Amino acid sequence: MTTNSIPPAHSEKSEALLEVRNLALTFAAHSPRPVAAVKNISFDIAAGETLALVGESGSGKSVTAMSLLQLIPPRQMEFGPASSITWRGEQLVGAKPARLQEIRGAAMAMVFQEPLSALNPLHRIGRQIGENLWRHQNAPPDGKSPPLRHTLPQFKAKIIDLLNEVGLDEAERRLDAFPHQLSGGQRQRVMIAMALANQPDLLILDEPTTALDATIQWQIIALLRRIKQQRGMAMLLISHDLHLVAQLADRICVMQKGEILESGNTATLMQNPRQDYTKQLLAAVPQGHPSPISPDAETLLTAHDIKVWHKLKTPLWHRVKKYFKAVDGIDITLRAGETIGIVGGSGSGKTTLGLACLRLIKSEGKIAWLGQDTAQFRPRELRQMRQNFQLVFQDPFGSLNPRLTVAQSVTEGLRQHFPQLTQAEKEQKLIDLLVEVGLDPDSRHRFPHEFSGGQRQRIAIARALILSPLVVVLDEPTSALDRSLQQQLLLLLRDIQARRGLAYLFISHDLAVIRSMSHRCLILDRGKIIEQGATETIFTHPRHDITKRLIEAAGGNFMS
């Protein structure tokens, strides 16, 4: 029996800020195949309270959160006839756009799951936070964006304070950075600062720590606790990680397939879950180990003394340009069937190293592919290497073209590298691969926005695997997935590796995932390798203090 129609009781000391009753959401309601994303759920959030919605990818958590601010266009999503969302007694379902605009970012603010997609790639982060402040303090009647010159200078001190509050290092220098110049964790902290800018009464956090390493996760959790205590702010936390929400939430609602299965006080639910599904979520931890590497496995990639320099912004009149080393003298040898785990804090150079190995960014040092120096490759040879050396990006929504269907996105590489295939052969290859990564083949004609974050990541993995590569760089491939789906994906990746002799460069902040997947491990800090070796040896007998802190921070989420 579900509790969909029974709203959990809120705090007796405070009236509910937000009341949700019989919320039902349908995608493509008037199409031949409508999708019921949320099915008549109800809940309250009181002032100063933190409520968590927990469940697997596709359970309806993020859609529920976005519906509160009505961020999904009406032509794509329709409310059920009995749906009610009231904010301080005011009905928001059917509210005028101007009123919703007043509430968004001021009364209620949201931190999105994928910061690279949420941040404007053409504007510096100082301007973006400043524009958010300017809009709600000097809202123009015509709704136009403020001139660039009005945003940063007026609110510079406030912006720096916000960035310092969320733990972004060298905050003043970061004001002129573009989103792509920050790591995933740094971008997430910028999003939190932007959401806090106008002191909202309710902060909605959609997977706020998925892009962060274990030590930064706990820093953000401590930050959110402090903010909640100091400001008396309510929070709605969306997550697939029950162990994480236990550190923040007063109450938990467990969702599955658009329904609330059970809800209750956090401590009670964690200790005595009633539903088998909740028990599975609590017990889900990445397990297993990769298959042994063949003694005569071929060496696919050799990288020696790799260095990547990033230019810092300096005034035009400065003759001397300033740089910092994102990657500083790293060596890697990768064999067929091997997985090398790359671990480190946000900004340690993990992703930059992967891009350098693919020669997608400029680097110093020697990179050899199948024994040949890639610096000597002609464009045609470089394209052939990249066919065999694929990349799964950290942000699946940002890497998928929103105007292309799943079928078009996944098979795009086939058109370039295998033009001899017929349309029927491409279609069958696509269907087989979607089944392999756990997606319904009938969904191949849908667009990226119609999928959850975890589903989009599986689409991105399918796009990389469809070219049958020899090496795949996996940049945080499981960060958007709940634990049960993580385990399914890891089993899939290990199975593919064993059958095809595929090699992985596996970048992750999740130590349980790294331990489950990798043969060898590199621990990075500030662009340097501080520790490396066999994965089990590093995790059972760490030598460096940073490695010890990472393992300690992983705590209860770490596999035994």
Q: What pLDDT does 316 receive?
A: 55
From residue 309, give the alpha-carbon distance in Å to each of 273, 359, 376. Answer: 51, 14, 21
In this structure, which amino acid lies at residue 395?
Answer: D
In whole angstroms, give the CA distance from residue 520 to residue 335: 11
Q: What pLDDT does 298 receive?
A: 93
Q: What pLDDT does 10 receive?
A: 44
Encode pLDDT of 370-391 as tens digits.
Answer: 999 998 998 888 888 888 989 9
* Backbone phi, psi, residue 55, to 5°: 170, 175
Entry pTM = 0.69
Contact between 336 and 501 (Cβ < 8 Å): yes
Nearest to 3 by CA among 240, 247, 279, 274: 274
Residue with tokens 């059920």: 80
- Domain annotation for the chain: domains and CATH numbers: 1-107+200-283 (3.40.50.300), 121-199 (no CATH), 299-388+467-557 (3.40.50.300)
H/E element holding 236? strand 234-239
Report residues of the chain scoring pLDDT below 50.
1-3, 5-13, 141-143, 148, 556, 559-560
Question: What is the 3-class SS of 246-275, one letter each residue?
Answer: CCCCCEEEEEECCEEEEEEEHHHHHHCCCC
Q: What pLDDT does 334 receive?
A: 95
Compute the 3-state secondary structure of the chain and give helix, strand, coil in percent, each to the nearest 5.
Answer: 40, 25, 35
Residue with tokens 């005028």: 96
Strands 339-344 and 503-507, how do they pair? parallel
Q: What pLDDT does 147 receive?
A: 53
Which tokens in the block code for residue 522?
């590199």
